[in-house]
Amino acid sequence: NLDDERQRIKSFNGRIFTPKPPKNPNLSRVIVHSSIKKEDVGLAMSRSIGDYEWTLIGVTAEPIVYTIDLLGETFMREETKNFHIFVVSASDGVMDARTPEFIANQIGKRLYGSAEFPT
């Protein structure tokens, strides 16, 4: 459901199925005709590893990467000096099912004890 992802797929003449309301439009699928299965198949993401047929219509294995400066002034303030910092890399399946706060708190509790971890 990211506009630039949709545009990339369409620029390769790819097809995207988006459910009509009341169904969730976030459940869009990239559609390709599979030479292996001999039928149309829907992929729930526009980035995937290992499926050559999908690269022909713009699906790529290149990840979306966000960079946060952990040494910047936000993290160097006095009130943040006791924070534990960790990074979570997760698939869309995890991120669609849980909030970043939930994930941070679950992992943080297991790594560092019972503190709440801001996101």
Half-sphere CA count of 6, side-chain side, radius 13 A: 10
Q: Is the separation of the CB atoms in 30 and 59 below 8 Å?
A: yes
Report d(CA 11, CA 101) in Å as an integer: 36
Stretch 2-19: mean pLDDT, rounded? Answer: 88
The reported pTM is 0.53
Q: Does pLDDT of 101 surpass 70?
A: yes
The rounded percent of the chain whose pLDDT value lies above 70 is 76
Q: What is the pLDDT of residue 11?
A: 93
Q: What is the pLDDT of residue 80?
A: 56
Q: Could you read off the pLDDT of 30-42 as tens digits, one per residue?
A: 888 888 888 988 8
